[in-house]
Amino acid sequence: MNECYYDKRMDFFYNKTNTDTVDEWTGPKLIVVLCFGTFFCLFIFISNSLVIAAVVKNKRFHFPFYYLLANLAAADFFAGIAYVFLMFNTGPVSKTLTVNRWFLRQGLLDTSLTASLVNLLVIAVERHMSIMRMKIHSNLTKKRVTFLMISIWAIAIFMGAVPSLGWNCLCDITACSSLAPIYSRSYLVFWSVLNLVVFFIMVVVYIRIYMYVQRKTNVLSSHTSGSISRRRTPVKLMKTVMTLLGAFVVCWTPGLVVLLLDGLNCTYCGIQNVKRWFLLLALLNSVMNPIIYSYKDDEMWGTMKRMICCSSEDKSQDRHSSRIPSTVLCKSTDTSGHYIEDGIIQGTICGKGDLSDKGNS
């Protein structure tokens, strides 16, 4: 029967797995990493808080897609917390950690990754439901969206806790990873392959949806007299989602590949030399997402800017806009009887002809 080492500190496992590069987290390298990490974490907290507040404040965002977008911002905010905890428990401190504290450190990172990944997967389903009907937003009720968001976090917390629940190498030192000295290599292979497969599936799904939207939009353009901006609205929203997914894949794939190589016990891959930089790249994803929201969505940027400025002019504009219905549906009938919702993303009001049509309907 194998001996278990639950009472050992992390220096025991680092020595057993020959992970001696932990001492390199000192001097100028550590200072640079901490400085960049601190700046990025502050930006993550502020920007993602603004995104969540914008969705809550602006009634134009009270739709399933934006609720899920706010939940994705919450996952990025949580990632900031995980990185702050990591900064105070890395470098030379790593060897002094207890097993439980090290599990907590890594579990927070795994939970933030899973929350973002599952959230993007749910957004893909929501986009599929709406786009196939050529509508901006799906018909998911608030109760269902709330249930989905709770489920996302339940799955994320569970996946983050799996190693501490038993899938580790505390009772089998020979199976330990070098990057994660108390994680079993088999778990790293499972974890990295699972995430990479989900990446691939989502990319394929979004490409198919985007091709469908382009094809459907071209068909509608020859049968409707609606504005060009109204016909392009679903395409703009899909571009936003695909940009988010692209940034996520680019930032997280290198780190997952490194974990996979470590799980496969690749001793000649030099993974110890790049691990910290790929971790910073993953951190960069949580920085990029709020920038993508604001750059791709004028209404989101306008709401965030008003909350930042808090000028009297902006307050008067908010009071004036509160008298306008939050959602104006511009109906453009196609051969199947479906319609495209307008004015949600760009924050525009329909033309007089559209309003008169709605009044007559």
| pLDDT digit string, tens, across residues 151-187 | 999 999 999 999 999 899 898 888 888 888 899 999 9
Identify the pLDDT of residue 237: 66
DSSP string, 299-360: HHHHHHHHHHH--HHHHHHHHHHTTS-S--------TTS-----SSSS-----HHHHHHHHH
Identify the pLDDT of residue 136: 62
Alpha helix segments (H runs only) across 222-326: 228-263, 275-296, 298-309, 312-321
Q: Over the Cα atoms of the chain, what is R_g?
A: 24
**3-class secondary structure, 177:** coil
Q: What is the mean pLDDT of residues 225-251?
A: 68
Burial-class residue 171 by CB neighbours within 10 Å (0-12, 13-18, 19+).
middle
As a whole number of Å, the end-to-end CA separation of the chain is 77
335-351 burial code (b ≥16 CB/10 A, e <16): eeeebbbbbbbbebebe
Please report, rounded to a whole number, the percentage of residues in the chain having pLDDT higher than 90.
21
Identify the pLDDT of residue 350: 34
- In this predicted structure, the answer to whether residue 355 has a pLDDT above a threshold of 80 is no
Candidates 142, 155, 162; CA nearest to 55 is 142
Identify the pLDDT of residue 220: 63
* Cβ proximity of 302 and 275 under 8 Å: no
137, 143, 149, 154 alpha-carbon torsion, rounded to 10°: -150
Compute the distance between CA of residue 344 and CA of residue 54 in angstroms, rounded to an integer.
14
Alpha carbon distances (Å) from 61 to 42, 51, 129, 175: 25, 11, 18, 49
Identify the pLDDT of residue 135: 64
Beta bridge partners of 9: 98
Q: What angle do CA 146, 149, 155 make, to 5 degrees?
A: 140
Q: Which residue has the tokens 């509508």?
A: 135
| pLDDT digit string, tens, across residues 92-121 | 788 889 999 999 999 999 999 999 999 988
Q: Which CATH architecture has domain 10-221+231-309?
A: Up-down Bundle (1.20)
